[in-house]
Amino acid sequence: MDIQNKTKEELIIELQELKQENSDLKALIENRSVELITANKEHILQNEDISVPSLLRQKAEDLLKNKPSKHDSQLSESENLRLIYELQVHQIELELQNEELRNAQAVADAAHGKYIRLYDLAPSGYFTLSPKGEIIELNLAGALMLGKDRSHLINNLFHFFISKDTQDVFKLFLEKSFKNNSKESCEVKLMTSGNQSMWVHLSGITAENGTTCLITAVDVTERKHAEKKLQDIIEKNPISIQILDMEGYTVHTNSAHFNLFGAVVPRGYSLFQDPQLVQQGFGALFDRIKNGEVISFPDSYFNAHDVNPSFPDVPITIKAHGFPLTDSHGIPEKIVLMQENITDRKQAENEIKKKSAILNNLIINLDAGILLEDSNRKIVLTNQLFCDMFAIPAPPEALAGADCSESAEQNKHFFINPE
């Protein structure tokens, strides 16, 4: 018998049927035995003395003979013996089957107990809901999530425990679960006793009969808090943050990105295909990020007006850094760009360079020997007249960066204020 795939209820019903069949078979065997004894009475009593026990036996046999039988027999003695043998064998087979069924029932009871323990002691919440969202069944973890005793939660509406701002999310989730008959998921916020909130991830699928939805609830509160902190870091960061997919299309930007470029990234725009960046050789740098590297881009020119004529015509100089975001297997799946406007700084640097060039030109052409040192007595600038005054054979430009501490000590007597 294949009893492994039968339910506990089916096994119990089959066991009861077999017990009834055994009872009927025993009655049949008893009747056949009486008939056999009666048919062979004279042979059995042959050469036996009549005594009180034999008289009692005779009386018993007469009573059995007069007892109505459900089965009239015209069989021979050997046939009757054969029939009794077959019935006894069949009875033993039934008893063995019954023993097997009892063992299977014990296994089923143990499995059922194990299931109950796993169900009740699971760390996740398990709920069985009706199409209206009524709680039909739940485990201990589920009751703990809702903050009430399990017996007080049966037949309550599940959405009563969901925050108002996520109730629509739950209703859509439940509707889709029953309508599509497929696994659905969502994240909602539970409001427990004392107005304590808990974020849970719900996964649900309808049962085979289609009248209930089996839901697993996992506490994701810590993850949601971490995501909120990360979101704050991105949104409140004064540096522009732009997240791209692996094709260069924008997934997310913060407010600093809008402040930097004065426009929202248009749909269908890939940074990898921007002519301004392609001309500056950024394609190879983006490829390196795709391969997992962290890249510091060279200072670059960019004008959002060249992307879309409706955007502000404001050329800027950008300092950018890029790095990949990886999946659970360490494979890059997103690219993060952090961009800073360094236009003012670059303009200041260029202004300093211009003034330095003018100053250098004045020093070189003065009618006096000039030597400029830094705080470490390294030569910054000198002119030819200074080299001539001290008979220095090298040209002025060759002296830049040279340490003049020793020579200054040797020649300080030439100066009015040598220190």
The model's pLDDT over 348-371, given as tens digits with 9 standing for 90+, comes to 888 888 888 888 788 778 778 888
Low-confidence winner among 18-27, 34-43, 296-305 (lowest mean pLDDT):
34-43
Could you tell me the pLDDT band of residue 55, with boundaries at 50, 70 and 90?
low
Whole-number pLDDT of residue 100: 81
Share of the chain above pLDDT 90, in %: 40
3-class state of residue 6 by DSSP? coil
* Nearest CA-CA partner of 250 in 263, 237, 239, 238: 263
3-class state of residue 250 by DSSP? strand
Whole-number pLDDT of residue 4: 44
Whole-number pLDDT of residue 216: 95
Residue bearing the bigger pLDDT, 158 or 38: 158
Residues 318, 299 contacting (CB under 8 angstroms)? yes
What mean pLDDT comes out for the span 373-379? 84
Whether residue 35 is predicted with pLDDT greater than 60 in this model: the reply is no
Whether residue 411 is predicted with pLDDT greater than 70 in this model: the reply is no
Residues 30, 60 contacting (CB under 8 angstroms)? no
Looking at the DSSP bridge assignments, the partners of residue 138 are 127
What mean pLDDT comes out for the span 87-104? 79
The tally of CA atoms less than 13 A away on the side-chain side of residue 116 is 6
What mean pLDDT comes out for the span 134-157? 92
Could you tell me the pLDDT band of residue 219, with boundaries at 50, 70 and 90?
very high
3-class state of residue 409 by DSSP? helix
Whole-number pLDDT of residue 124: 92
Residue bearing the bigger pLDDT, 195 or 180: 180
Residues 133, 162 contacting (CB under 8 angstroms)? no
Whole-number pLDDT of residue 39: 47
Task: For residue 199, give the amino acid letter.
Answer: W
